[in-house]
Structure 1
């Protein structure tokens, strides 16, 4: 277990964490800024997603004491082998922990873990109107690698999806 910020540690997620992970995820849906899900998901809905995270594409949780206050994951960017060194990164935080530097610390933690996992590039898929997340990744050195204009419709409003990316190594 490592410390992300004072009082908050990080560890690999276990199946026992899935309910807290889902609660944090669901807390973002109503804002229409973070996810393309329009309705809350259930723990059962997320079982296959959880099972897809393993040694190569881990799922971590941040804990304050025994409370899960955030999670971060790596997911396969694409199924074709030539993309194996690239992963999609996601960071989600409980509402009461946002805006305090935990997201930046969690992102740094994930980046440091990547070389041992064979990941040289990270991409984040972020809605263009999600200013806090765009700023988080920008401050961490991510560049805009792509834009998919008006590909999501959230409450009858078409939204852009940005692909933000970072090369972790220059080999």
Structure 2
């Protein structure tokens, strides 16, 4: 298992995080963005007005940013205030090393400190690695939306996983 640290994402780390995300945009169905984002667009994805929501850079022992994990708003209605969405992206060179599990443990702790009750992960149905990661870490499937996205000329399912943390 690789040793990593987590730190609040800072503006100066945004290009590294954007490069990681761009890989997934251009080469996978892990995200439903179909075009590479600009720095300004990425800033809107990872920085939030409310301190309740936060993005953390994942830093490898070598010092390089090897991924990021974030808590974001699930829905913009008050009844959902106890629910947050979890997103994790790792640089392709750092997958399969136990970092995803460490990221989930870290973000669950951060979510509890912010008094969240439920965490939700929304995943492309083709993304077996992410599905396995969340299942291994106690998330259970709660929804399956068929053919709701289109990317690379194919219709894609979305599955939602949730974990009650408090």
TM category (shorter chain) comes to: over 0.9
**Aligned residue for 1:35?**
31
TM-score by length of 2: 0.93
Change in 2 beyond 3 A, CA 1:80/1:149:
same
| The one of 137, 140, 163 aligned to 1:140 | 137
| The one of 17, 32, 36 aligned to 1:21 | 17
SS of 2:20's partner is helix
CA distance in 2, matches of 1:19, 1:103: 21
Count of aligned positions: 165
Change in 2 beyond 3 A, CA 1:100/1:133:
same
**Aligned residue for 1:149?**
146
Change in 2 beyond 3 A, CA 1:10/1:98:
same
- CA-based RMSD of the aligned residues comes to 1.4
What is the CA-CA distance between 1:55 and the residue it aligns to?
Answer: 1.9
Specify every segment of 5 or more residues in structure 2 that has no aligned partner in the other structure, as ranges. none
The Cα offsets for residues 53-76 of structure 1, whole Å up to 9 and x where unpaired, read as 652011101112331111000110
**Aligned residue for 1:72?**
69
Specify every segment of 5 or more residues in structure 1 that has no aligned partner in the other structure, as ranges. none
List, as ranges, runs of 4+ consecutive aligned residues in structure 1 with deviation greater than 3 Å: none
